[in-house]
Amino acid sequence: MRAYTTDSANTASIGLLLNRLYQKIERTTPQDPHPGLIIATHHFKKPYPLVHEIDLLSLATLGLLIQFAYPSLSGYAKFTISLTMMRSYGEEISFTTGPAIPLTYQDCEFIPKNEVYAQISRSLMKYAEIYDEDNLVRLMIRVYMDGKKMYRPSLSSEERDSTLYSINEHKPYAVGLLLVRPGKEIKNQLIDTYFSEDHSLILDSFEERSTKVLFDFLKRILAIFRKEKSAFTTIYFHNFSRFDGIFLLKHLACHHKSYKLKPLVRNHRLYEIAVYSGKNKFFCFRDSLNLLPGKLSDLAKNLCPDLGQKGSIPYDEVKLSNLVSMKKSLLDYMKQDILLLGGIMQKAQEISWKLYNVDIESKITLASLALSIYRLKYYDSKNWPIHIPNKNEDSFIRRGYYGGHTDTYKPYGEDLYYYDVNSLYPFVMKEFPMPGGDPVWHGNLYPDKNKTLLFPTGEFVGVYYSEELKYAKSLGYTVIPISGYLYKRMESPFKHFVSTLFESRLEARKEGNDALAFVYKILMNSLYGRFGIHPKSTVTDVCDENRFKHLIRKSEFISCDMLSENNYIVSYHSTDSDYWNPPKNSAVQLAAAITASARIYMFPYISREDSYYTDTDSVVLGQPLPEEVLSSSVLGKFKLEDRIMKGYFLVPKSYYYITIDGKGVLKYKGPAKNQVYPEWFEAQYTDPDRTEKVQVSSNFKVDWHSLNIRKKDTLVKLGIKLRSKRMPVYHSDLWVDTEPIEVTYLSCLNNVGKLLIQSLRNEVKQLKIENHILKEKLEKDKKRGRT
């Protein structure tokens, strides 16, 4: 067991810590992006410090503050800590440790440094156990203030160089627009296009030409808005959240200051940009991917196959020097994408209106569309009212909301069967009981660790759905309820919703209406997740200086950057300790019950001795399932997805197999997924600890601080991480099986709970003794010829 402490009586002297810190730092670089922000970074050298070295890292953070922040502060100030780590399997990840930590009180007086140091330690402590043995590559502070920073000596040439942005920033060179009207043929409609190099004679720099393209695009949208005289216009992009929307948001914020922007950004996902002039909403940009998940090519195949296929372009070959020569192919590719997206949205809107009288343009996400349809057509609020949890209820129950069960049991097999369940979550929503009515807290139910979902042996404490605990008890687990919320056990309120949509989907498939069948499927599968939506999310606002000065004082303020003069992008948590404003219809007890019931349903199949691999609604087995549980069209039954000739199942989300007809199927979750090949799985199975370093390119990496999209190259250690969920079992040095991890996690128990666990241990010990005595007696009786 590792102990983490910041008590000076239990740590090395400050002098020794400082010496060790200096030995670890390769260089320190400050930046001054704008008057209200200071950035300073320690770059560490090998051997890197470990994340659990709390005292060392706390001292390093305070050192940055003393050197670069305190001498320059004016007004109210806060700072955040960002860590860049090298994971054990080679991936480099960066994250901010939490909301910003105040450096001053509300009256702008400095908070004592020992209190700031304690806050730093607490912030770092949260990640010590999660990333125990991982290495720290960089530690960065971002210091925000609502005054203007005071004088600091000029930066050295090395420090100035460190502030330069990457030269691999992306800029748009073409944009297009298609006007889509309900019921009107779009196949031969004109698509307006705007191309940067058309302005090369009058604008010298590419950046100016790129900006001109976006100006002309927005000018055309305004012209359509005024001509059509509609309430407002919605413009859809596919993957707007992670690409097009970033360009547009920054362009609007920096170059169209007469407009008021209301971006809807949650957890670094851009859902919408609404553009206002005064109080009038002109138009909004949205992501069609949030409403219709899937690749553009697959959506087009289902909803508008008559419009042709999605094209392709060689992205790596597109350079500033050959934009003119590639103009036709680039614009043709873009126009086909626009045509397909127009056809997809038009067809989806037509189906939604015809079936439910719901306009998809009124909804931003598929989950919200499914919920609207459910409430409109299927929800019985009188007989089955859905309780919206308060803050205490939500916080407690959410600890018991786990996802699907993904595990590797046997790493290699031949002649296997890969099965999928037909619509697992909708099936559970239809057939399993649900928690209903208002919950009642019971704090005295007895007697009558990490962030990965484990299925271990041992002793552990957590929050679980009662039906899953009952099932665990039937398998031989000993369960002691301590406290919890009790609901009424009621018939599912989703029976009619699921039955109707599933039957309608089957009927549409029989009639050959793939578009309608697709819509029924995605609606049926999208409802459950809406109930589990988290009330706390990261919100991003684009605002003026006054709004920034208000937000920086919020307890949940995270970060801020200046986009242009009097234009800031600010991130903060949507809820804090003083105010509870959850999303409407957030009922986490339903989402937790659905996922738990799904795990119960799958357990008899994934716990078989011949089970090789499982991922939520699928299982790979060594022997076929009986005919009575098989069907390709019955809700909740299994369908044979593949017959496997041989397969490697190394870790969750990482497998490769060859079907009996010679088709290869490969899945790998990780940054280097494009560099994994069949031979790699074979080599990795033979030597599971084997690693290799590969370069991974991220072509479109979003920097949410500056709203830039860059290309980033990273060196990654490619391998698999064993022992995180199950322990490998070897036979003659060959990896043949796995077994559950043994867990003891009782630290969250109070004294009464710990006494209960000790009492349970004593009871189990006594039962083992009695069982042993009984076995001996039976053996003696057997020898004497008794029965």
Query: Residue 232's pLDDT is what?
Result: 58
Query: Does residue 284 or residue 768 have the better pLDDT?
Result: 284
Its pTM stands at 0.80
Q: How far is CA 69 from CA 114, 157, 501, in A?
A: 16, 20, 59
For residue 42, name the pLDDT band (cuts at 50, 70, 90). Answer: very high
DSSP one-letter string for 469-529? HHHHHHTT-------EEEEEEE--TTHHHHHHHHHHHHHHHHTT-HHHHHHHHHHHHHHHH
Q: What is the pLDDT of residues 560-607, one digit of tens each?
A: 888 888 888 888 887 654 456 666 678 999 999 999 999 999 999 999
Query: Residue 164's pLDDT is what?
Result: 34
* CB-side neighbour CA atoms (13 Å) of 754: 8
pLDDT of residue 8 exceeding 50: no
For residue 97, name the pLDDT band (cuts at 50, 70, 90). Answer: confident
Query: Residue 651's pLDDT is what?
Result: 92
Question: In sequence order, what E strands does 401-550 have?
Answer: 406-408, 412-421, 434-442, 457-460, 484-490, 538-543
Tell which residue, 613, 721, 610, has the closest CA to residue 665.
613
Compute φ and ψ for 468, nearest 5 degrees: -75, -35
Query: Does residue 88 or residue 359 have the better pLDDT?
Result: 359
Give 50-53's long-range contacts (Cβ < 8 A, gap of 24+). Answer: 50/132, 50/133, 50/134, 50/135, 50/136, 51/83, 51/85, 51/124, 51/127, 51/128, 51/131, 51/132, 51/134, 51/135, 51/136, 52/2, 52/4, 52/128, 52/129, 52/131, 52/132, 52/133
Question: Over the chain, what is the mean pLDDT?
Answer: 85
Beta bridge partners of 228: none
Please say whether the beta carbons of 674 and 717 come within 8 A: no
Length of the chain: 787
pLDDT of residue 371 exceeding 60: yes
Q: Is 50 helix (H, G, I), strand (E, B) or coil?
A: strand
Burial 276-291 (b: 16+ CB within 10 A, else e): eeeeeebbbbbbbbbb
Which of the residue ranges 161-165, 349-353, 671-675 has the most confident prediction, judged by mean pLDDT? 349-353
Give the mean pLDDT of 230-248. Answer: 84
